Each structure stands twice: as structure tokens, then as C-alpha cells.
Amino acid sequence: MALKSWFNIPPRSHFSLANIPFGIISTAATPTPRPAVAIGDHALDLQLFNAGNGFSALSVIQPHESVFSSPTLNAFASLGKPIHSAVRKYIQTIFLANTPFPHVLKDNISLQKQCLIPLKDVSYHVPMQIGDYTDFFVGMNHAYNCGVLFRGPANALQPNYKHLPVGYHGRASSIVPSGTPIRRPHGQILIDPTAKEKVPVFSPSRKLDLELELGAFLCKGNRMGEPIPIGEAEDYIFGLVLLNDWSARDIQSWEYVPLGPFNAKNFATSISPWVVLTEALEPYRTKGLESDTQVLPYLREGRAENVYHIDLEWELKTPSGDVTTVGKTNGKHLLFSFQQMLAHHSVGGCPMNVGDFFGSGTISGTEDDAKGCLLEWTENGKRSLKLQGGDERTFLLDGDEVTLKGCCGNEDGALVGFGECSGRIEAALDLKF
Amino acid sequence: MALKSWFNIPPRSHFSLANIPFGIISTAATPTPRPAVAIGDHALDLQLFNAGNGFSALSVIQPHESVFSSPTLNAFASLGKPIHSAVRKYIQTIFLANTPFPHVLKDNISLQKQCLIPLKDVSYHVPMQIGDYTDFFVGMNHAYNCGVLFRGPANALQPNYKHLPVGYHGRASSIVPSGTPIRRPHGQILIDPTAKEKVPVFSPSRKLDLELELGAFLCKGNRMGEPIPIGEAEDYIFGLVLLNDWSARDIQSWEYVPLGPFNAKNFATSISPWVVLTEALEPYRTKGLESDTQVLPYLREGRAENVYHIDLEWELKTPSGDVTTVGKTNGKHLLFSFQQMLAHHSVGGCPMNVGDFFGSGTISGTEDDAKGCLLEWTENGKRSLKLQGGDERTFLLDGDEVTLKGCCGNEDGALVGFGECSGRIEAALDLKF
């Protein structure tokens, strides 16, 4: 049931009181990045809120107030889940219509004016200092569809696929907040893969694609050499964002043998700015994809509901302004949970740190319109995607803007949403070499 | 010709006045990590040297003195190559027998006692804050030998191999300084790859291997979306270290399709503690491996001598204490230079940052004993390596200690060496899952 607030929160806002996602913002007036939470159409600036004694009724946070003056969420995340929960619930309480602490904000017009900033006036930053970024490939429908395209249905999934969460190390420096323009990359491309002489050309990518994924930030690390048991993995997962793993398919198909994707991925990776805490997602737990394979004990979770029912979609806006919702899918279409990814990633002793970031891999459903990338939609360019306004696409053109959206629930005033993750393609540079 | 010093520098020291490598040290007395250079059997503590007016005769560094109180070399590296050169040459001058600045250190016994620390009393730290770590695969002899093992000689090298420096994103958090114990990792292993049913077991790795590589740290970044031209790439490369990319071959062969090595590599990566500046390596420039393939213009360098003649070797010390020098190779056995790796890595616009780290890939020569890993030496365990003392190995056993060494030149008092990069294998944890 929707929580009633004294504050005006639009009923269809992704940022209802049931959410309280955390991010890092700045404004023209105060360009220093600092933590905030999203509430309706506003950001609550936690640095100013704290400075105005906003946390006066939450004693547990007082020894840690400096986390609200940090340019990333790492310090806050490091405090651990009981503190995240206490802060989230306290902020909910402060905004309740019948808040027991009206003096903090409800009746404090001066503090409201200081620390409630319209989202339209806010600039976003990557919310955490990311030590390492790992991108997994556990959206099995996507893995299967891609496998069919390149190896046929009999060998679509590799023998290891259902035994472990397949993943690769990504490029942390490539991660940018929603809204950052995406430059079309140059790279080596093999125009005719069937030719006997395999000689690449140097060209802007002609097969620029998006990938709709979920991302998870870590709030806890392990000691090198010490695996994280699957039963403890939830303690390490701070929250989730939307992730667009921009991909240059032509660069990828030439470069990726034998060591995996590289320049095809590392030119840019966009994320939505607000980290939705796992606690806010808890009511939306559900089962992931069924597997016919028994996994090894270190990957067995205590409960079947190990992923989240998150309605996901992506839309394409052409340079002429027409918007088409292309793909609709759901966060449940994963073969492994983030907990399983973490247990696997650390089982050999790999050290994890607060701020490390995991991508799920592209999330596709099984329906025709449930594809999380163009590679699948257009069968690697073989069929054309028809858009509103009459345009067609096989891959992204300059000026196209891709926006990912994600939301849990459908009740007015109680949505737990991710907002948007968008990026617009800029023309490739005119390189002289 | 060897530079004569008033200070006692052993003639076979890797750290002659021709070298002056930079690192991050701490001591029992002063546990705060801070910058130093190695000179003979001593570290010159740059924080104390600077505090004692050691840089009084080098005006160019004075606005930047705070870099010598930093726990990493990132701040110093960011100052750029002209400053690195000025500081290196100044320190050489201070130590010359006929130094024009005897008051700084030569005649200042009190400052000598403060800032010259025997290396045996020094602890080492990873010298830079590494944002992203990329491991390449440009040791062509190694790539060929491995390709022969797994695909036969006709297809040993993939079609892309000579066109681009193949690489993958590594795990920055896995990088540790020489001397750090290396825990044998657990992971998924397919015992019989020929079986029809491919079901892995969970086990400590039985094929633990080393990889002898060179690593390069960056001292300059680019803007996202803007490639680094090959002609400018040298400005970005701070210096080199030895790198041991520990590898669990059995975990690797099961997991690496289709996205590349992951847990097989991310449990630990050792580096030598002293960064040898490119300026110190300049006299040892030489040609790399010959290629029969014309690379694309963005990878064409102005001069053929684009790698370094560095004598490399690795030795294995068994638990009984016997030491065997197993592999002898050379830093010149690379198909692409670090400059080419950087030009390729950034050509799609991937952002590089100061402190980013590149590995060359395993460096093997063509001779029988010139193998940089056990996979090659023992043909994936098919033949046994005979060691001093009568032991044999196919892969590493618990208690084995691997040490990499690297050095340029052979003249007494003029060596430009890397010191050592060592690590000893600890038994796997007794996991309960």
C-alpha cells in the first residue's frame, strides 16, 4: 500500500517513498558532487540535509555523518546493510504525512528550500568509485539467441554455460552516467568473414548496438584468497541500476577470439544514476530462469526467489524525434542471481572491494519483442526493425538516442523504479590515421 | 660507462645509478607507504629526502613536493616525463662521486642516516593506484606454442593475431607486490574434456602455472572518445615492471569459452616493486618480433626499435630449498610494443587514466629453455620438468616459490634491472562447500 506523504510525489513517479534510491548529484550552484536520494521529482541533498540537522533523530548515523560529504557512495555503502536500512527507513519516516519528526523537514520550510532540488536541475555522476567492473552473460535467452546466430541451435550454449555464471572483466573507466553522449568508435573490422584472406579495415563501427542489462554495486569486500559463501553473498550487494553495455558488433566479432570482448565494449558503458537498494527490491523477489542442470554446492542458494521481477524496456528515439518502444523484458530472465555471480567470482579467492560493479549480461525474454539488443532483434542485421515515423534500423545510426527503463510494481504512489538510462550516438571522429 | 658514486653500490646491483627506479615502500618504524627510489642495496626514502631539503637544488620539482608524501606514485607520474627525467637525473647527480651538490647528501651524514634504508628492511606496496588492468597476449612465441597445443600448428594463431595486439581486461584488485603468498585457488574443473557429458567438479586447481610477463604503468590519460595516436603513445608510458600472471590452466580451459579467462587469472597477479622508467630503458631499445603482416596505419610506429632488450628468467625453488633456473627469455620477443598496445586499446575511445596497467602476455623465446610458463614447458603436463635436487614438475606444487628476474646490460656498476618478482604457493583452503 502506498505510503502517504506531506510532500508532493507524483503517483507515477519511479521514486515513491517505497524506493529511496541513492545517487551522487551536483548542481550549477554547487558543483561539488555529493550524495542524495530521489523522492518524486526531487533530489534530497543529503549533505545539506545533514548539515541542517536532518539526521538529528537518527542516532545510529551520527558517528558516520561524514559519508554525506563524500563525492561517492563508497563510504556510505561501507557502513553495511543495517545502516543502509536505517537511513532509508528514516528518510521514509521523515516524509510520511504523519511523521513523528515534523520539525526535521515537514515543518522546516527553510531546510526544504535548501535541500530539496528539482531533478531537472540536477547533474548526475557515477555513484561509486568503481575498482573493478565485471560483466556477466547470465541472460540465458540472450546467450541462446546469440549462440543460434553464430553456431546454430544445436551448439547455441557452450558446455559450461549452465554450470557457472559466465563472465569477463570489463573496463571500469568506461562507465558513465546516463545522459553522457556516446561517440561511435573506430576499430578493426573484417568486412567479409567468409573471405579466405582475413584482412581487416579500419573504420567507424557499422554495427553499433545497445545491451539492456542490470548492474549491481558491492558494499562489502573480502580478503584475497577467501571465497564469499553463497549464504553470505546478499550482505555484499548494495543495490541495482540499469546498465547499457554499448557494443560494436563488427569490432567484437573480429577481435574476441580467443580472449573475449575488448574494444567492442570498452568505449562506453552507461548506467542509470540512482542505486535502488536491495531492501527496496525485496518485495519483488522472484524465481529466475529454470535450469535443467544441477549446479555445484558453492552455487546453491537457500531460496529459489533469488532475482527480481523488474519490468524492463528500451526505446529508440530517432534524430527526427520519433520514439519507439522496441524491447520489453524483465529482470527475472537470468539463469544466475547476483549472489551466485559473486560466489562464483570470489570462489578462487579473487578480492572484491566496496564499489565493485557487476553487469548481468543482456536480458531478453522469449517473446518476439522481448529482445534486449539489436543483434538479436535484427538477427545480426538480416532483418530490419521498423520504427515509429517510418524509419528502419538494423543497428544504431548517428543521432539515435537509446533509453532504458526499469520499474517494479504498478500501484500509484508505490513504484520502485530505476528512472532512465539514456545515451545518444554521436558521429565518429574524423580521424587522420 | 658506469657512473662513479660516493655511495657504496655493489657492482652487480640491478639498481645502479643508470637505473633509479621508483617504488612505494614502508618500514616497521614508519608504516606509512611513501615513494622511494632504489640505489644499490638501499632505498632512498623520497619523503624524508624531500623533508630534509634533498630537492633544494632542483627548482622544477618544488611546486610539486607533495607528490613525495603520497602513498602511490600516481601524483608523481602525473607530472609528466620531463619531470620524471629531471628528478631521475638529479638523483643520479646527487650520488655522483663528483656531485656538484655535496651538501645535499654526500656530506650530510645525518640526512643519509634518515633517508637511506637497507632494502632488507623495506616492505613493498603496489606502486600505483591501478584504475584498470589490461593483459595483452603479444608474446607471439607463447601464443603460437599454446595454439599448437590446443589447435595444432596449422591454426595455432587466430586470423586476427598479427593484425592487432590481442588483449583482455584483467582484474586490477588481483595485483599484489612481489613476496605476497599465493593461495592455490579452487574452481570448476572438467576432469575429462573428451567425455560426452561435460560435468565439472569443484576442486583446488591441479594445473597451477606462472606466466612471465612485462608490465607497463601509464602516466597520462586521454579524454573518453579520443584515441591516442601511436606517435604520442610514448608520452603515456611511465615505466616497466616484471609481472607474474599466475594462471590455473584447468579452471581456464573450462571457463574461457566464449568470453575469455576469468577466475583462472583473477586470484592473484604479482609484480616487481620497482618501476623502471622508460628513460632508463632507452639505451636498450631493440626490434621486436618480425611480422609478415602489414598492420593498419594507426599501429605503425616511427621506429623499428620499439621494444626493449631485457634479459628475463624465472626460477623455481622447491620446498626442499633447491633452486632451478627454468626459463630464459628476453623482453624483445613481442609482436607489438606497449605503444602499439596503447594506440590499439584507445583507438575506439576507451579512456585511459594515470596508474592504468598493461601486461605484455607471456614472453617466450624460440629455444627449448626459453619458455615463460609451465604450460609450454611441459606441453600441458605431458612431459615432466626435471629440477635441481631430483624433483620433477608438470605444474606448481604447494610450497614452490617462483621468482622472475629481469635485467638490461651486463657492465659492472651500470646494470638497469628490475630486481625480482617472487611468490610462494600456499595450500588451498579447506573449504566446506
Q: Is B433 part of a structural domain of the chain?
A: no
**Sign of the CA dihedral A106, A110, A115, A118?**
positive
Q: Is A297 part of a structural domain of the chain?
A: yes
| Of the candidates B277, B274, B272, B254, the residue with the CA atom closest to the CA atom of residue B264 | B254
Q: Looking at residue A431, what DSSP letter applies?
A: -
Contacts of B173 in chain A (CB under 8 A): 131-132, 224, 350-353, 356
The beta-carbon contacts of B104-110 under 8 Å, at least 24 apart in sequence, are: B104/B53, B104/B54, B104/B56, B104/B57, B105/B49, B105/B54, B106/B6, B108/B52, B110/B52
Identified catalytic residue from A142, A186, A333, A344: A142
| Of the candidates B351, B363, B432, the residue with the CA atom closest to the CA atom of residue B214 | B363
Q: Is the pLDDT of residue B1 over 80?
A: no
Contacts of A262 in chain B (CB under 8 A): 166-169, 345
Contact B312/B406 with Cβ under 8 angstroms? yes
Q: Is B80 part of a structural domain of the chain?
A: yes
CATH number (domain holding residue B42): 2.30.30.230
The string of pLDDT tens digits covering residues B401-419 is: 999 999 999 999 999 999 9
Do A407 and A272 reside in the same domain of the chain? yes
Q: Is B7 part of a structural domain of the chain?
A: no
Do B168 and B100 reside in the same domain of the chain? no
Do A112 and A150 reside in the same domain of the chain? no
Tell me the β-bridge partners of A34: A25
Taking an 8 Å cut-off on Cβ atoms, the answer to whether B258 and A356 are in contact is: no
Contact A54/A94 with Cβ under 8 angstroms? yes
Can you read off the three cell numbers belonging to residue B155?
Answer: 591454426
Q: Tell me which amino acid residue A141 is.
A: N
Cis peptide before B258 (omega within 30 of 0): yes
Reduced to 3 states (helix: H, G, I; strand: E, B; else coil), residue B123 is strand
Q: Is the pLDDT of residue B323 over 90?
A: yes
pLDDT at B319 (0 to 100): 97
pLDDT at A433 (0 to 100): 82
Do A211 and A99 reside in the same domain of the chain? no
Distance CA B285, CA B301 (A): 14
pLDDT at B432 (0 to 100): 84
* Of the partner residues B263, B296, B351, the one whose CB lies closest to the CB of residue A350: B263
The DSSP code sequence of B239-299 is: EEEEEE--EEHHHHHHH-TTT---TTTTT-EEE-S-BEEHHHHGGGEE-----SSPPPGGG
Distance of CA A135 to the CA centre of its chain: 11
Cis peptide before A10 (omega within 30 of 0): no
Do A94 and A161 reside in the same domain of the chain? no
The band of B433, judged by pLDDT with boundaries at 50, 70 and 90, is: confident
Contact B370/B268 with Cβ under 8 angstroms? no
* A142 annotated active-site: yes
User: What does the buried/exposed string (b/e) look like for A307-322 if buried means 16 or more CB atoms within 10 Å of the residue's CB?
Assistant: bbbbbbbbbbbbeeee
Distance CA B48, CA B59 (A): 18
Q: How far is A340 from chain B (nearest CA, A)?
A: 14
pLDDT at A1 (0 to 100): 76
Do B357 and B292 reside in the same domain of the chain? yes
pTM of the model: 0.98
Q: Is A4 part of a structural domain of the chain?
A: no
Distance CA B122, CA B145 (A): 39
The string of pLDDT tens digits covering residues B256-270 is: 999 999 999 999 999
Q: Residue ranges of chain A with pLDDT lower than 70?
A: none
Q: Is A8 part of a structural domain of the chain?
A: no
Q: Is the pLDDT of residue B347 over 80?
A: yes
CATH number (domain holding residue A229): 3.90.850.10
Do A159 and A60 reside in the same domain of the chain? no
Q: Is A10 part of a structural domain of the chain?
A: no
Q: Could you tell me the residue range of the domain that residue B264 belongs to?
A: 133-426
Q: How far is B329 from chain A (nearest CA, A)?
A: 24
pLDDT at A432 (0 to 100): 84
pLDDT at B296 (0 to 100): 98
Show which of B71, B100, B124 is a domain's final residue: B124
Q: How far is A405 from chain B (nearest CA, A)?
A: 25
Tell me the β-bridge partners of B424: B401
Show which of A68, A90, A124 is a domain's final residue: A124
Show which of B124, B143, B165 is a domain's final residue: B124
**Chain B residue nearest residue A266, CA to CA:** B350
Distance CA B250, CA B247 (A): 9
Taking an 8 Å cut-off on Cβ atoms, the answer to whether B348 and A137 are in contact is: no
Q: What length is written for chain B?
A: 433
Cα dist from A99 to A38, A83, A91, A228, A295, whole Å: 18, 20, 10, 40, 48
Q: Is the pLDDT of residue B317 over 80?
A: yes
Which one of B136, B162, B202, B262 makes the best mutation probe of the A interface by having the most chain A beta carbons within 10 Å?
B262
Can you read off the three cell numbers belonging to residue A420?
Answer: 532512465
Do B354 and B230 reside in the same domain of the chain? yes
The string of pLDDT tens digits covering residues B143-180 is: 999 999 999 999 999 999 999 999 999 999 999 999 99
Beta strand A133-136 with A357-359: parallel, antiparallel or unpaired?
Answer: parallel
Do B189 and B221 reside in the same domain of the chain? yes
| Domain tally, chain B | 2
Q: Is A1 part of a structural domain of the chain?
A: no
Beta strand B182-183 with B416-426: parallel, antiparallel or unpaired?
Answer: parallel
Contact A252/A267 with Cβ under 8 angstroms? no
Distance CA B18, CA B29 (A): 29
Taking an 8 Å cut-off on Cβ atoms, the answer to whether B173 and A351 are in contact is: yes
* Of the partner residues B172, B173, B254, the one whose CB lies closest to the CB of residue A160: B254
Taking an 8 Å cut-off on Cβ atoms, the answer to whether A267 and B297 are in contact is: no
Taking an 8 Å cut-off on Cβ atoms, the answer to whether B262 and A169 are in contact is: yes
Do B103 and B159 reside in the same domain of the chain? no
User: What does the buried/exposed string (b/e) look like for B366-393 if buried means 16 or more CB atoms within 10 Å of the residue's CB?
Assistant: eeeebbbbbbbbbebbeeebebeeebeb
Cα dist from A60 to A71, A87, A183, A379, A432, whole Å: 22, 9, 45, 54, 58
Distance CA A183, CA B225 (A): 6
Mean per-residue pLDDT for B9-31? 98
* Of the partner residues B268, B298, B429, the one whose CB lies closest to the CB of residue A202: B298
Taking an 8 Å cut-off on Cβ atoms, the answer to whether B429 and A227 are in contact is: yes
The string of pLDDT tens digits covering residues B60-90 is: 999 999 999 999 999 999 999 999 999 999 9
Do A171 and A49 reside in the same domain of the chain? no
User: What does the buried/exposed string (b/e) look like for B13-50 if buried means 16 or more CB atoms within 10 Å of the residue's CB?
Assistant: bbbbbbbbbbbbbbbeeeeebbbbbbbbebbbbbbbbb
Beta strand A247-248 with A208-209: parallel, antiparallel or unpaired?
Answer: antiparallel
N-to-C CA span, chain A? 60
State residue B239 phi and psi, 5-degree precision.
Answer: 180, 180
* Of the partner residues B132, B163, B187, the one whose CB lies closest to the CB of residue A188: B163
Q: Which helix (H) or strand (E) holds B345?
A: helix B338-346
Mean per-residue pLDDT for B280-309? 97
Distance CA B376, CA B255 (A): 20
Cα dist from B407 to A113, B112, B137, B402, whole Å: 65, 27, 22, 17
Do A342 and A369 reside in the same domain of the chain? yes
